[in-house]
Amino acid sequence: MEIVITGGAGFLGVRLARTLLGLGQLARAGAAPSPLTRLTLVDRVAPPQELLSDPRVTAVTGELNALLQDEAGRSAMLKPQTAIIFHLAAAVSGECEADFDLGMRSNLDATRALLDACRALNSRPMLVFASSLAVFGNSPEQPLPATIEDNTLPTPQNSYGCQKFMAEQLVADCTRKGFIQGRNVRLMTVSVRPGKPNGAASSFLSGMIREPLAGLRATCPVPGETAVALSSPARTIEGLLCAARTSDTDWGARSAVNLPSIQTTAGAMAEALRRVAGQAATDLIDWTPDPAIARIVTNWPAQIRATRAAQLGLLADTDFEAIIRDYVRENPNAVKLPVSA
Amino acid sequence: MEIVITGGAGFLGVRLARTLLGLGQLARAGAAPSPLTRLTLVDRVAPPQELLSDPRVTAVTGELNALLQDEAGRSAMLKPQTAIIFHLAAAVSGECEADFDLGMRSNLDATRALLDACRALNSRPMLVFASSLAVFGNSPEQPLPATIEDNTLPTPQNSYGCQKFMAEQLVADCTRKGFIQGRNVRLMTVSVRPGKPNGAASSFLSGMIREPLAGLRATCPVPGETAVALSSPARTIEGLLCAARTSDTDWGARSAVNLPSIQTTAGAMAEALRRVAGQAATDLIDWTPDPAIARIVTNWPAQIRATRAAQLGLLADTDFEAIIRDYVRENPNAVKLPVSA
């Protein structure tokens, strides 16, 4: 089985690639498991050497839109035998709010070009689309319900969420038309992400844990009582794999499935960090309000009932402290402060 | 005040143009009424001579996407002083289902190009977008609720509905960003339309009344018990004008407003025709099932609660027989059968 990951050099893409290579096989849409023969990682930068050294891995490096405009780029990425595409590549929320046209190109046009290329294969490949919690937005003129359900009407309050929601519609219609076998999956904010801050408005929700553990100062730009819905990297990858594995019948509607999330607050996250790494860690957090970020993040919902995900057997993280301890175990070189047992 | 109508030579565009020219002025978004100084009708064909002979009317003839790609076309259509754009131009449902790419170009790309051109004016013009009931679709894996509300999640079951729903999102985000003052309005199936059948799956809902009144045979491709939600031409124009006139505060959410509709059945429509023009008229209807059309039309909702529209003072038609009698009065040359008083 040949699998493609767009955004394959990003944090989630690399983690998904490692997981797939470790599994060595995948069962597509309820079919029997099939061995992974080729994993193509598409991104603007090359993936880590550890992945490139696996003989099953091919890297295609370039801007997704540009690759898809070009016959050579398309055929390097997608083969007639490509079975599954995980479409993770995107411009993030902060970038899209600052540059409307960039967001439209990266999140709508690139997805459309990818769907066109999949359709041209004439083989109805599986496409798992990573949409986002950010499709939901609260506003004075249209308050969100207290609890978000799978069938709650998204009313995006930022361009990233709007573009993701439009792309969901296109994935659904291309599925209905039989061009692809599509799965719309709404990812929650992933925390704790390793690595560096990115342009996502939610970037601080990893940074406020990751940086102090590394002995560095971090900023929390929202008040401690700000409620957030998070998912660990492990649960997020589980959700993407589940989408690819589930049969059409079990998956059901073409509209998006909200992944499970743990509901917590910025303050409770800092408290969990204190339990793991002590006051020395939490003292490194500067609680400096940033109205631009707060406006985006506080308009995302914090209570989400993931009914369809639960029916598919997907469970939420139950404990943010456990998520921090997973991060510490998985990223020993990035942790400089002493950690309690 | 300068106003633009895309699809300005179509049935609704012409009727809207006549209404605006008759009013002679319009109050934009709660402001004081301003006299109509120029009405630009954009369409692939020229509007009727009666409109062209009005000194306030300008016709811009061409394919909307092509006009908007071209600086000369854009500046012929849109001026810095353009106050209101009614965006009615679209490929219809049957066409879009037969030709996916045509629908994407006509309904998504053209709307996007129009929004880009509006944004480039830097004057935040009012844009009233004619979306459609067709955003809602019923399917076995995702049944529609018995009653559609303004905040019901659309799950389009045809490409036309999907494209209209994506365009709604773009209009909403461009409004949020301050590029335009946008109004998303969902039109119901309009009946009785004068003129000729078109490629809309719902075309028969006018044809089964219009053709028999003209002494011609007509086909009803769905069973008599098929429920439909309709709006008269007059109520539909009322809805579009209301959107342009209503202040941002009164309009509220940027998500779409469902216009009011009368809920009836194909059989009850034929019965109303019999009361107006007798058995001689209804004998001209061939009840010949067409699975392709039935699949589209029977998946549209028939019970729609238009709460926001009612709050704006918009009322539904109450009687389909009265709609037929309006058609007879407004189109005397198209009626050949004797009509009861």
The 3-class SS string of chain B reads: CEEEEECCCCHHHHHHHHHHHHHCEEECCCCCEEECCEEEEEECCCCCHHHHCCCCEEEEECCHHHHHHCHHHHHHHCCCCEEEEEECCCCCHHHHHHCHHHHHHHHHHHHHHHHHHHHHHCCCCEEEEEEEHHHCCCECCECCCCCECCCECCCCCCHHHHHHHHHHHHHHHHHHCCCCEEEEEEECEECCCCCCCCCCCCCHHHHHHHHHHCCCCEECCCCCCCEEEEECHHHHHHHHHHHHHCCHHHHCCCCCEECCCEEEEHHHHHHHHHHHHHHHHHCCEECCCCHHHHHHHCCCCCCECCHHHHHCCCCCCCCHHHHHHHHHHHCHHHCCCCCCC
Q: What residues in A contact B166, CB-CB < 8 Å?
A: 166, 169-170
Confidence bin at A94 (pLDDT 50/70/90): confident
> How far is it, in rounded angstroms, from Cα A92 to Cα B146?
38
Confidence of residue A309 (pLDDT cuts 50, 70, 90): very high
Which of B112, B159, B252 lies closest to A173 in CB terms?
B159
Mean pLDDT computed over every residue of chain B: 96
The CA-atom distances, in angstroms, between B297 and each of A175, A227, B229 are: 20, 43, 10
Inside any domain, residue B74: yes
Whether B17 has a pLDDT exceeding 90, the answer reads yes
Rounded Cα distance, A47 and A40, in Å: 10
Neighboring chain A residues of B172 at a CB cutoff of 8 Å: 155-156, 162
According to the model, what pLDDT value does residue B227 have? 93
Closest CB from B141, B176, B177 relative to A252:
B141
CA distance A324 to chain B (A): 36
- CB nearest to B165's CB, from A169, A176, A177: A169
Chain A environment of B155 (Cβ under 8 Å)? 172, 253-255
Q: Are strands B257-258 and B181-187 parallel, antiparallel or unpaired?
A: parallel
Contact B255 A159 (CB under 8 A): no
Count up the domains in chain B and report the number: 1
Beta carbon pairs, A and B, within 8 Å = 65
Q: What is the dihedral of CA A264, A269, A272, A277, to 10 degrees?
A: 170
What is the overall mean pLDDT for chain A?
A: 96
Dist CA B77 CA B64 (whole Å): 10
Pairing, β B227-231 against β B189-190: parallel
Q: Spell out which residues of chain B touch residue A151, defining contact as CB-CB under 8 Å.
A: 153
- Decide: helix, strand or coil at residue A138: coil
Please report whether residue B226 resides in a domain: no
C-alpha A210/C-alpha A331 separation (Å) is 10
Contacts of B106 (CB under 8 A, 6+ apart): B64, B65, B89, B90, B91, B96
Q: How far apart are CA B293 and CA B295, in angstroms?
A: 5
The answer to whether the CB atoms of A177 and B159 lie below 8 A apart is yes
Q: Does B86 fall in a domain?
A: yes
Chain A residues with CB-CB distance to B141 below 8 A: 252-254
Q: What is the dihedral of CA A50, A51, A55, A59, to 10 degrees?
A: -130
Instruction: Return the residue of A nearest to B143 by Cα.
Output: A253
CA-based nearest residue in chain B for residue A145? B151
Q: Is B81 among the domain residues?
A: yes
Asked if A173's CB is within 8 angstroms of B162's CB, the reply is yes
Q: Which residues of B fall within a CB distance of 8 Å from A112?
A: 104
Mutation for A interface: B108, B144, B153, most A CBs within 10 A = B153
Q: In the beta sheet, which residues pair with residue A142?
A: A139
For tokens 């039935």, name the residue: B294
Confidence tier at B94 by pLDDT (50, 70, 90): confident
- In this structure, the strands spanning A82-87 and A126-132 are parallel
Contacts of A125 by beta carbon, 8 Å cutoff, 6+ apart: A78, A82, A83, A84, A85, A118, A180, A181
The predicted structure's pLDDT at residue B200: 85
Segment B201-244, tens digit of pLDDT: 899 999 999 999 999 999 999 999 999 999 999 999 999 999 99
* Inter-axis angle of helices B11-23 and B233-245, nearest 10: 60
In a domain, B315, yes or no: no
- Determine, for residues A139 and B165 on separate chains, whether the beta-carbon distance falls below 8 Å: no
pLDDT of residue A76: 97
For residue A81, give how far its alpha carbon lies from the nearest alpha carbon of chain B (Å): 24
- For the record, the structure tokens of A276 come out as 């793991």
Contact (CB, 8 A) for B334 and B194: yes
pLDDT tens sequence across B96-151: 999 999 999 999 999 999 999 999 999 999 999 999 999 999 999 999 999 999 99
Residue A296, pLDDT > 90, answer no
Within a domain: residue A281? no
Residue B30 pLDDT greater than 90, yes or no = yes
Partner residue opposite A162 with nearest CB, options B159, B169, B253 = B169
β pairing state of B2-6 and B38-43: parallel
Are A127 and A171 contacting, i.e. CB atoms less than 8 angstroms apart? yes
Q: Is residue B161 part of a domain?
A: yes
On whether residue A275 sits in a domain, the answer given is no
Chain segment B138-194, per-residue pLDDT in tens: 999 999 999 999 999 999 999 999 999 999 999 999 999 999 999 999 999 999 999
Confidence of residue A133 (pLDDT cuts 50, 70, 90): very high
Of these residues, A160, A165, A204, A327, which one is catalytic? A160
State the best of B151, B169, B179 to mutate against chain A, taking most chain A CBs within 10 Å. B169
Q: Closest by alpha carbon to A326, among A317, A337, A336, A316?
A: A317
Interface of chain A toward chain B, CB-CB under 8 angstroms = 100, 104, 112, 139, 141-142, 151-157, 159, 162, 165-166, 169-170, 172-173, 176-177, 252-255
Q: Do B141 and A166 touch (CB under 8 A)?
A: no
**Catalytic annotation, pick one of B86, B160, B165, B320:** B160
Residue B105 is part of which domain span? 2-188+233-258
- Peptide linkage before B297 cis (omega within 30 of 0): no
pLDDT given at position A263: 95
Contact A166 B170 (CB under 8 A): yes
Prediction ipTM score: 0.95
What CA–CA distance (Å, rounded) separates B283 from B280? Answer: 5
User: Could you tell me which chain B residue has the CA closest to the CA of A250?
Assistant: B141
State residue A299's pLDDT score: 84
The dihedral built from the CA positions of residue B160, B165, B168 and B170, taken in this order, carries a sign that is negative
Distance from CA of A120 to the nearest CA of B (A): 13
Residues in chain B closer than 8 A to A104 (CB atoms): 112
- pLDDT(B60) > 90: yes
Residues 6+ apart with CB under 8 A from B160: B90, B91, B92, B93, B95, B96, B97, B103, B107, B132, B134
**Nearest-CB residue to A165 (from B142, B169, B177):** B169
d(CA A241, CA A126) in angstroms, rounded, equals: 12
Q: Is the pLDDT of residue A2 over 90?
A: yes
A191 token code pair: 């925390």
Which residues of chain A have a CB within 8 Å of the CB of B307? Answer: none
Separation in Å, CA of B224 to nearest CA in chain A: 28
More confident call, B180 vs B301: B180
Residue of B nearest to A98 (CA): B177
Q: Which of B142, B152, B159 sits opposite A253 (nearest CB)?
A: B142
Selected residue with higher pLDDT from A308 and A297: A308
At A302 the pLDDT is 85
Percent of chain B at pLDDT > 70 equals: 100
B160 is a catalytic site residue = yes
* pLDDT at residue B300 tops 90: no
pLDDT score of B110: 98
Helix runs in chain A, H state only:
11-23, 49-52, 64-69, 71-77, 93-98, 100-103, 110-121, 159-176, 204-213, 233-245, 248-251, 266-277, 279-282, 291-297, 307-311, 320-330
* Burial label, B62 (beta-carbon count in 10 A; 0-12, 13-18, 19+): middle
State the Rg of chain B over Cα. 19
Whether A74 has a pLDDT exceeding 90, the answer reads: yes
State yes or no: cis peptide before B192, omega within 30 of 0. Answer: yes
Question: Could you tell me which chain B residue has the CA closest to the CA of A99?
Answer: B177
Chain A interface disruption, residue of B166, B250, B311, most A CBs within 10 A: B166
CATH of the domain at B22: 3.40.50.720
pLDDT of residue B252: 96
Yes or no: say if A78 and A4 are a contact pair by the CB < 8 Å rule. yes
